[in-house]
Chains A and B, each alone.
Chain A
Amino acid sequence: MYPYYALFDEDRREADEKRFWFWNSMHFPVPMPAFDVQCIDSPYQAVGAWQNRVFAVPPAMGIDYRIINGYVYISGNPVTDPEKVAERVDFFQRRAGYYYENWPELYEKWKDKVRELIDEITNLRVPDLPEYEPDEVMHEAGRNTAFVDVLDAYQRCLRLGDLMWQRHFEFLLLGYGTYSTFSDHCKASLPDIPEQHIAQMVAGIDVLLFRPDAELRRLARRAIEDGVDGAFVEGRTPTEIDAELSQSDAGRAWLEDLEQTKDPWFNMATGDGLYHYYRSWLDDPSIPYASLIGHITALKAGQQIDRPTEEITAERDRLASEYRELLSEEAKPPFDELLALSRMVFPYVEEHKFFCDYWFLTRWWNKLREFGELLARNGFLEDSEDIFQLGRHEVMSAFDELVLCWATGGAPRGPSFWPPIVARRKELLAKLGDWSPPPAVGVAPEVVTDPMTIMLWGVTTHRVQEWARQQDPAATELVGAPASPGTVEGPARVIRKIDELADVREGEILVTGSTSPAWAPIFSKIKATVTDVGGVMSHAAIVCREYGMPAVVGTGRATSVIRTGQNIRVDGTAGTVSIVDGAG
């Protein structure tokens, strides 16, 4: 089900047991379907290539992973030889320096390259296998027969994924590192500064990621202005709403506007994109429609729903200048420079998610569904969706046989071979979903030094120690990072899969592996957010703060300890979560 190298094994046992492996519940909160392992391999190839082989970050190479019971555990590879570290310092300084000097220009080029990849994955044709090849095979020089086209297309689809991941990580290390340096610099002089104030000083105002929801607010306003808001009734499906709208001219005009808006703003995903479960708003409009209904209701109740961008801008500048005034004279110049650099890199930090994780990946998964459809049409799968239960090499092998038998006219074994495998794996995944993985295995380090582990996953020395303390199964208090201030109490809703998101009820506290900014629409329903893993600089944390909702991130095991229905108290100021009672 998983690649041979993804498992703990006897050959590497001695070395692996000495290492510290922590569950990457931020990116992989649920057991990995076989195909989705591509979203481990490819990003870790890419992040390692940039970190270790391009920038040569002196103390850290790339990240190794192992799968335990379907869950992904990761461990960084440190560089320990001082000579090697010194050698890498030269590379890093020169190459990082180049990126900082040319950032805006390089970022513009980056966006062009990613848009090209998005166009290519969108337009990639999944060929069919015809009864007879057309005459063009004779007439057009170099025209391939279908078997080559199918194999090419599938391989190209995989390769496009690799290319996207390669771009995804090009700026990420420097982006996060810059922000992280600014944050450390602030805390050196202002040890109690709330992390959210640091984020507020840096965060973009007119950020791409806010656009989808801004467009929904605009459409909500237009629906009221054009008198078609009556169609948006709580409980109706998008199809039912569309049906009513299409009855009138005004409704049709609104739908036309919606169509225009969908490209590109509905390329939001319902999660962070790393699983095939995450669909885009285009595929599943229930989230944006729920949001539209919410906005229309709020508007009609006379509430202000727009992001007060001018106020946000003014507040961001006020914070920066007031904090600056509190610094010593020596600390001011680096503060200014780091703030400017952080603001320069931050659009990338936020926007790469929209381009890569949402827009590209939702299309990539859909393209794979088309390949699944081809296999299903030929009896290799019962359903196109079943392609995700096979590893990418297994799919390759299925295509090898499919085109072979198409060519030879022979009887394929695939239709009897693959469906039972798919069925078994589905059962297995369901069982693994009930298991509560420990936050970490192996030998806990005394100090965490790997810059990426700290910056991306928030796995600090302090956090590791907290996890060790929380091994006590009777513990009723969890400690994490305070990501958004305030204290509330309410019933918990534990969400471990994206499709459970619909179960969230008004006034509940969301408890999840990690949040995604694409969940923004449900944020108007919930009272607080608690996550297993995550840093306070994530976009999701910023959204929580914009909604003025308490959040505690990086608790290690909230989803394993807390049960849906339990009353919990979230203190987003102190970073603690307590279970108030056991009953639902």
Chain B
Amino acid sequence: MAAELTRPLAELRSGDAASYGGKSATLGELIAAEIPVPPGFAVSCEAFRLFVSEAGLGNVIAHAVGRASSGDVDAVNRASHSISEAMHSAAMPEEVREQICSHYAALGDDVPVAVRSSALGEDSQEATFAGQQETYLWIRGADHVCDAVRDCWVSLYSPPAIAYRARLGSSDEPAMGVTVQEMVDAEVSGVMFTCNPLSGDPSMVAVNASWGLGLAVVGGEVTPDDYLVSKVTRELVRENVSTKTVEYVPAEGGAVCVEVPEERRSVACLDAEALATLVEVGKRVERYFGSRQDIEWAIDRGGDLFVVQSRPVTGLAKPEKQAATSAMSLIMSTFGAEKKD
């Protein structure tokens, strides 16, 4: 019954979300839709389960979690700490390690990659609360990749994650997948919504962008440039260029946060052409999934755009719901001439 431990992203489809997590499955779909996505591979939930069982961590986990109740911060922290220590000292199953190394080698020679958790259940809000959105950028070398994968697993038992599940009263054994993707050496990166998340207007694409790797925007460390672009004409409808003080850049052993040089801080980081490309890709992703999307993207130093993540937009402000009505009755109401009962 040798369960699958890893698979290239390109071979995943939405049906694989249950075994690889939503993020990896979505990236597989995006590749199928011919959206530019950096190549990579996914580690399955089964790999995590194998890790827990081989290292005999089940009891440690059950014991630690059992003592932690959601309201008791200290107990939760203690549980998280002891699980983390146990996981870090446990060896990764050889089979998992071998497969990761082989997929990694296939990407190239010591290619920098991004290692991200790929939560089960495609409720990103829930996953965010649960602290399951770990991201390790600019990881190089097979050993470091394996360490980062394990760090993702550890995050499943971060204090907020434990507290969250305790609050939910969930007794299921948690599990998660991991996504390993070639790193985009981003000059600019950010997020776009294929609607205006504030007004709910579906004819707009809202873009937030800042210099460097995506961490600064996602983590809210900078006020990003804010653009609203018409899907229909690609016109820039609104533009707020902000002062972008910091950016993440590649460094040995991960990404580091540095100050943006003075002369680039207040420069718009996207031009009309880049925005048009973004809107085009956003529309394609939206059309492919058939719903409004929240897309993380990056543009590399060669000017190529990559999508690194996409998920459905939730909690949208809905434009006022219109009752079915005739044109003539709408005109009558413009003139204050609607019939009162």
Contact = CB atoms under 8 A, between A and B. Distances in A.
Contact of A192 (B228, B332, B336): B228
B59 interface: no
A173 B330 CA distance: 15
Nearest to A91: B337
Given A60-B336, A188-B319, A96 B331 contact: yes
Given A319-B232, A334-B326, A337-B327, A192 B201 contact: yes
Interface string B286-304: 0000000000000000000
A328 B322 contact: yes
Interface string B194-236: 0010011111100000000000000000000000101111011
Given A58-B335, A188-B322, A326 B203 contact: yes
Contacts of B231: 322, 326
B327 A188 contact: no
B164 to A, nearest CB: 35
A92 B237 contact: no
Contact of B334 (A180, A189, A573): A180
A485 interface: yes
B325 A89 contact: no
B196 A89 contact: no
Interface in B306-341: 319-320, 322-328, 330-340
A324 to B, nearest CB: 10
A183 to B, nearest CB: 10
Contact of B330 (A97, A184, A330): A184
B196 A451 contact: no
B5 to A, nearest CB: 43
Interface in A299-343: 318-319, 322-323, 326, 328, 330-331, 333-334, 337-338, 341
B204 to A, nearest CB: 5
Contacts of B235: 194, 485
B238 interface: yes
A573 B326 contact: no
Contact of A485 (B201, B237, B335, B340): B237
A190 B203 contact: yes
A311 to B, nearest CB: 13
B268 to A, nearest CB: 12
Q: Is the interface of A mostly helix, strand, loop or mixed?
A: helix
A96 B330 CA distance: 13
Given A319-B233, A334-B330, A573-B237, A96 B319 contact: no
A451 B319 contact: no
Contacts of B143: none
B239 interface: yes
A419 to B, nearest CB: 49
A181 B201 contact: no
A319 B232 CA distance: 7
Listed residue (A185, A193, A334, A451) with the most chain B CB atoms within 10 angstroms of its CB: A334
B254 to A, nearest CB: 39
A485 B199 CA distance: 20
A180 B333 CA distance: 11
Contact of A181 (B204, B230, B239, B331): B331
Interface in A147-205: 173, 177-178, 180-181, 184-185, 188-194, 197
A85 interface: yes
A86 B340 contact: yes
B196 A57 contact: no
A451 B201 contact: no
Contacts of A190: 201-203, 319
A259 to B, nearest CB: 42
A338 B336 CA distance: 17
A93 interface: yes
B227 to A, nearest CB: 11
A59 interface: yes
A172 to B, nearest CB: 13
A328 B320 CA distance: 11
Given A86-B340, A341-B327, A573-B237, A93 B332 contact: yes
Given A89-B339, A328-B322, A451-B335, A181 B228 contact: no
Contacts of A184: 330, 334
Interface in B59-81: none
A446 to B, nearest CB: 17
Contacts of A258: none
A96 B335 contact: yes
Nearest to A328: B322
A189 B319 contact: yes
A55 to B, nearest CB: 8
B117 to A, nearest CB: 34
Interface string A223-238: 0000000000000000
Contacts of B237: 192, 194, 485, 573
Listed residue (B196, B320, B332, B335) with the most chain A CB atoms within 10 angstroms of its CB: B335
B328 A574 contact: no
Given A89-B340, A92-B332, 20 more contacts: A58-B336, A89-B337, A89-B338, A92-B335, A93-B332, A96-B332, A96-B335, A97-B328, A100-B328, A177-B331, A181-B327, A181-B331, A181-B333, A181-B334, A190-B319, A191-B200, A191-B201, A319-B232, A338-B331, A485-B236
5 contacts: A88-B337, A181-B330, A191-B319, A194-B235, A334-B325
The 10 closest A-B pairs by CB, nearest first: A337-B327, A59-B336, A191-B199, A192-B201, A92-B337, A330-B324, A181-B334, A338-B327, A322-B232, A334-B327
